[in-house]
Structure 1
Amino acid sequence: MEYPEPGSDGSVLGAGPPPPAGPSPSRFPTPSLPRANRVALPSAAPEPVRAAAQVSPPLPAHVRAPVETQPPAPVEPPPVEPLPPVEPPLSAGRSQRRGGGRWWQVVVGGAAVLALLALCGLGAAALLAERDGTPQTAPTSPPEAAESADVGAQALDSRDTDQAPLTARELFPGKQLVVADGEPAYKVLKSQSSASCAVAATGEVADLLVRLGCTQVVRATLRTPDGGHLVTTGLFNLTDRANAERARDRIRLLLDEREGRFRGMAADEDSAAIATAPARVGWQVRGHYLAYAVVARSDGETIRSGDTKAREILFDMIELHLNRGVLERRADGGTAGQPTDESDTGTQDGGD
């Protein structure tokens, strides 16, 4: 094959005007169209036919023939089946209606339970009221124990309710006096009961007791377990509690002004110091009784203000023996009230 010279028309084999763009008319029979009962989906536009891809390699001049191209056969899309219907989601109103229904069920059920409990409570209350034999609204009566305590507390407030006189045997039944379990005993040297309260006091103190209705005094002189102290103690029997409290309040002033004193009672020569030596005294009121005690040293010496032994003796005689012992038994089993206050204490000079 001869190569033509440059610039000539036949320099390139098969050269000529470029073929027209797009597919050329086909000489083959036209394919059958798709059936009308199938739904054809729109297909994408065919890509433009590249000229280079559609151009066949050049053929020799003696074999050159027109080349035609045909479009690709249409592809039938797969049949489209209808999807099952999707149930729309529940609306907010429907959800609220269902929630509201549950809430009303809870409210109604709770109300029914409360009503049942209330009926049960009323039935139990009615049953208890019938068993007690009293109406449900009737006020309850105070306990019998409280009534007994009030009666016992008032028994010692006056001689009208406590008419039995005191006796020496009631206060000092033996030669030994034990004020507390496990404690050593006091030795009873002498006891006395007198209808004249003046024998146990002097001066204005004696006159005060008589004016306030004192009609009896019961007393005794004892020696402490260690023998270092003597004590005279007893009870004054006044008309009522009011007079006993007046005597208690007035006695302190009289002792401070040295216008009277409580007398100690000597049993023999060895106990003479209780009637003559300076002494510590104490007194206390319970009901219509005035309890008292006079403490002195056995050797006659003055008791110092900080002497704890003297205070222990006063507590043993006034609080433990006379109040919790004698007057507690007299008040029938300890139902009487407690003393009006703690026992008063003071000092007094020796005897006349």
Structure 2
Amino acid sequence: MVYRHESDEDAHVPHREDEPVAQSPETGPPPPAGPSPSRFPAPSLPRPNQLILPSAAPPPPPSPPQPAPRSAPPSQSPPQPTPAAPPPAAAAPPPAAAMPPPRAGGGRGWQVAIGGAAVLVLLALFGLTAAALLDRRQPNAPAAAPDPTVQTTRGTAASDLDSRDTDQAPLTAREVFPGNSIAVGESRAEYEVRRTQSSGSCPVAATGELADLLVRLGCNQVVRATLRAPDEEYLVTAGLFNLTDRSSAERARERIRLILDERQGRFRGLSAGDETEVIATAPARVGWQVRGHYLAYAVVARTDGTTIRSGDTRVREILFDLLELHLNRGVLDRRAAGGIANQPTAEPTEGTGNQGESTED
């Protein structure tokens, strides 16, 4: 049976109890209550630098989804969809005053750098201290063994040899010629000591103008000895004059050659008996040198009394052995090393010459 409707009241068609209620294809089960899920959900992590105040209320939990209502009886209108609940309001952020200020990233870096520099400085200081302690503990180099044939004078203090004011201890024969022989040079050639003499009168070892010159320059002592050379063909008288200072010794050195060349004076040889008189009378070769306020000299003559040739190399060796090796490096070096010298003494200055036969004043 078909009904026509002429008004709005006729538009309602009675629903039969045995027919199912037709549902609109557009209408489905009602959506769950609560906010719509996101297609790309992301975890919500708390911010590390954000402080949550106790007064801030946590957001309310989402409402569970409501079950779909059961179908109403045929005599009732179809159920209407439940409106979705509004999304909960987000928690208000804390006020700006409650947030702690962000840390300065560079401050910790400077602290680490300064701490590392301090550690390096401490390590360097520790290393320097350890090196200084080790250096102090190292033993000194062993000193050269003293010559057993040389015996120094006890109580002699080292000094600056440039002046008698700083080198006041007088010379002794035992200091200059300590034994019956002296060994010098690499070959340790031995010179036999025949006689020694120490005198406070310098003219006993010189004659003429040379003796007067030594007295004017303040000479107050001479120590000498007569020796026989190892080959026994030469006799030598050698010794030291003690003058006032280095300046007076240098003036004596400059005048000696002129006096010898003009035959106005000479060095005396010391006779020791037993056919040694030729050292005081025969023609001789002479050498001399200066160190500090000392004038060292040596007179060399042949045992047979003959004249020494100008090219005699053996005489040069004898002069070097006694003047440089024995008197300078031996006697005067020991005297200078006996204490603290104010200044290093200059290298010795030397000279050689000839003198004729002795002429008594």
Which residue of 160, 164, 167 corresponds with 1:155?
Answer: 160
Taking the TM superposition and a 5 Å limit, the aligned residue runs for 1:36-115 are none
How far apart, in 2, do the equivalents of 1:286 and 1:242 lie?
10
Is the contact between residue 284 and residue 339 of structure 1 (CA under 8 Å) also seen in structure 2?
A: no
How far apart, in 2, do the equivalents of 1:310 and 1:234 lie?
17
Structure 1 position 179, deviation (Å): 1.5
Q: Which runs of 5+ in 1 are unaligned?
A: 1-115, 133-151
Q: Which structure has greater helix proportion?
A: 1
Is the contact between residue 158 and residue 338 of structure 2 (CA under 8 Å) also seen in structure 1?
A: no
Q: Please tell me the residue identity of whatever aligns with 1:191.
A: T
Distance 1:294 1:128, change over 3 A: same
Q: Please tell me the residue identity of whatever aligns with 1:344.
A: G
Structure 1 position 174, deviation (Å): 1.3
How far apart, in 2, do the equivalents of 1:326 and 1:338 lie?
14
Query: Given the alignment of the two structures, is residue 243 of structure 1 paired with residue 253 of structure 2, yes or no?
Result: no
Query: Given the alignment of the two structures, is residue 328 of structure 1 paired with residue 333 of structure 2, yes or no?
Result: yes
In structure 2, the partner of 1:191 is 196
Which residue of 348, 358, 361 corresponds with 1:351?
Answer: 358
Which residue of 261, 265, 281 corresponds with 1:260?
Answer: 265
In structure 1, the partner of 2:284 is 279
Q: Please tell me the residue identity of whatever aligns with 1:230.
A: L
Taking the TM superposition and a 5 Å limit, the aligned residue runs for 1:307-318 are 307-318=312-323
Is the contact between residue 328 and residue 334 of structure 1 (CA under 8 Å) also seen in structure 2?
A: no
Q: Report the structure number with the largest CA radius of gyration.
A: 1
How far apart, in 2, do the equivalents of 1:335 and 1:343 lie?
26
Which residue of 205, 208, 222 corresponds with 1:217?
Answer: 222
Is the contact between residue 218 and residue 244 of structure 2 (CA under 8 Å) also seen in structure 1?
A: yes
Q: Per-residue displacement from partner, 1:55-79 (whole Å, max 9, x unpaired)? A: xxxxxxxxxxxxxxxxxxxxxxxxx
Structure 1 position 182, deviation (Å): 3.8
How far apart, in 1, do the equivalents of 2:339 and 2:269 lie?
30
Identity %: 66
Distance 1:183 1:240, change over 3 A: same
In structure 2, the partner of 1:295 is 300
Structure 1 position 173, deviation (Å): 1.3
Paired residue total? 222
In structure 2, the partner of 1:175 is 180
How far apart, in 2, do the equivalents of 1:301 and 1:339 lie?
37
How far apart, in 2, do the equivalents of 1:242 and 1:275 lie?
30
Q: Per-residue displacement from partner, 1:183-239 (whole Å, max 9, x unpaired)? A: 231111110000000000001100000000000000000000111000000000011
> Is 183-192 or 226-235 further displaced after alignment?
183-192
Distance 1:335 1:327, change over 3 A: farther
How far apart, in 1, do the equivalents of 2:324 and 2:340 lie?
16
How far apart, in 2, do the equivalents of 1:155 and 1:338 lie?
7
How far apart, in 2, do the equivalents of 1:335 and 1:280 lie?
37
Structure 1 position 176, deviation (Å): 1.2
Structure 1 position 128, deviation (Å): 6.6
In structure 2, the partner of 1:200 is 205
Q: Per-residue displacement from partner, 1:93-146 (whole Å, max 9, x unpaired)? A: xxxxxxxxxxxxxxxxxxxxxxx99x9799959x979x99xxxxxxxxxxxxxx
- For normalisation by structure 1, the TM-score amounts to 0.56
SS at match of 2:334: helix
SS at match of 2:300: strand
In structure 1, the partner of 2:64 is none
How far apart, in 2, do the equivalents of 1:259 and 1:330 lie?
33
How far apart, in 1, do the equivalents of 2:217 and 2:178 lie?
29
How far apart, in 1, do the equivalents of 2:221 and 2:348 lie?
23
Is the contact between residue 236 and residue 291 of structure 1 (CA under 8 Å) also seen in structure 2?
A: yes
SS at match of 1:271: coil
How far apart, in 1, do the equivalents of 2:181 and 2:357 lie?
27
Is the contact between residue 285 and residue 339 of structure 1 (CA under 8 Å) also seen in structure 2?
A: no
Q: Which runs of 5+ in 2 are unaligned?
A: 1-115, 133-156
Q: Per-residue displacement from partner, 1:17-73 (whole Å, max 9, x unpaired)? A: xxxxxxxxxxxxxxxxxxxxxxxxxxxxxxxxxxxxxxxxxxxxxxxxxxxxxxxxx
How far apart, in 2, do the equivalents of 1:339 and 1:307 lie?
29
Distance 1:121 1:348, change over 3 A: farther
How far apart, in 1, do the equivalents of 2:124 and 2:286 lie?
63
